[in-house]
Amino acid sequence: MSNNIYIQGLGIISAIGNNAQECLDSLQSRADGVAKMNYLQSAHKNELPVAEVKKSNKELADMAEMPASLTRTALLSTIAAKEALADAAIESITDWKIGFISANTVGGMDKTEDFFKDFLQDASKGKLRDVVNHECGSATEIVAEELGATDYITTISTACSSSANSIFYGARLIRNGILDIAIAGGADALTKFTLNGFNTLMILDKEPCKPFDENRKGLNLGEGAAYVVLVSERVMKTLGKQPYCKLSGYCNANDAYHQTASSPDGTGSYLAMKGALEKSGLQLTDIDYINLHGTGTQNNDSAEGTAIKRLFDPHYPKLSSTKAYTGHTLGASGGVEAVFASLAIKHGLIYPNLRFETQIADQPFAPETQLIRQDVKNVLSNSFGFGGNCSSLIFSKV
């Protein structure tokens, strides 16, 4: 048996769809999910657009078949993880060592905010059940128990690279014989805490974002959850379903430049992409598509572009950011884009970079603006987080 790690199942819920097929349809029809706030109650409701999942907590609970008292992060996570496991079509998970590696950055902050609204008015008020699932690990444990994926459970929280790191950690667990199957990805819900924090950093766009555009003004926050089911070759050969692709390369690098900014020369981004390529054994010219981290901030797009120029010049793959569709889903973003990368390979698609108008002046390339149908063999997916925590994954056709 080889050391190949296969993507056997996909699950996702985001602002552009409640499952993988709906998201794929939206990507192909250029239907983005950025809009005025509806479910999040914020003082910035009429000022800052966001990419919300178009469901109330009660509706999410019904979809997840879980109590509505759970945190929104846990509900989103349950829905996407259940879809991924069902899609993998593994008849009996009890025959294998199976784990759940999930990422998030906000934990149960939505319920904590509900608690403090009452508690700060009167210390005898506030429902303690709203804070018991506050920490990031709580959502992971709830979902793992629901899935029956309890041979190995862990939570990863490395800002915006969180679920990319969870995916390649899952691959390493399989390669080292600790697991046979890993459900890996992440989830994050929109909260006032997150919105206010990013607004304080002055990196939110008051209009729908324009990743990799010269006149970009910031990002739009989003929410969602996405998971891939990773399996060993031994497991894959027992299944009656072809895998979407394989995870051929991965790397994490940290330039430790600044708490919230990427280094101007894109050192962490460059090292992550270079390391993933080396791990995969592929050449630069083998990459057909880069799913950019592409948040729409001045700093990120400049740094990521600089790193791409340093690594790929003069031959650039086709590239685009899908965050113009989904917003920046933070701890879920690497999982969301892993699902999109897997679908790009299966269906032969390069996604358009919505709202792009003007090429960045000091970058010798521009993102794709139209949906392209072509054979896609290798996709590089970037997830770059605060603190310089940068990760790149490479997905390859089997």
Q: Nearest Cα to 173, choosing from 111, 100, 240? A: 100
Axis crossing angle, helix 109-119 with helix 72-88, rounded to the nearest 10: 160
Query: Which run of H or E residues covers position 23?
Result: helix 20-29
What's the Rg (C-alpha) of the chain? 20
Beta strands per DSSP E along the chain:
5-13, 98-103, 152-156, 181-188, 224-232, 245-254, 289-291, 318-320, 349-350, 372-373, 378-384, 389-396
**Residue of 23, 136, 245, 293 with catalytic role:** 293
Active site residue 347: no
Count other C-beta atoms under 10 Å from residue 361's C-beta.
6
Distance CA 82, CA 58 (A): 18
- 158 contacts 101 by C-beta, under 8 angstroms: no
**Residue of 23, 136, 328, 390 with catalytic role:** 328
Sheet order of strands, 98-103 included: 152-156, 98-103, 181-188, 224-232, 5-13, 245-254, 389-396, 378-384, 289-291, 318-320
**Residue of 160, 209, 245, 251 with catalytic role:** 160
Reading the block at residue 367, the tokens are: 């993102």
Active site residue 160: yes
Q: Is 206 exposed, middle or buried (0-12, 13-18, 19+ CB in 10 A)?
A: exposed
Axis crossing angle, helix 72-88 with helix 136-147, rounded to the nearest 10: 40
Query: Which run of H or E residues covers position 172?
Result: helix 162-175
Q: Looking at residue 262, what DSSP letter applies?
A: -
Active site residue 44: no
For residue 240, give every residue at least 6 positions away whose Cβ sits within 8 Å of its Cβ, in sequence order, or none.
Answer: 89
- 55 contacts 61 by C-beta, under 8 angstroms: no
Reading the block at residue 15, the tokens are: 């602002």
The catalytic site residues sit at 160, 293, 328
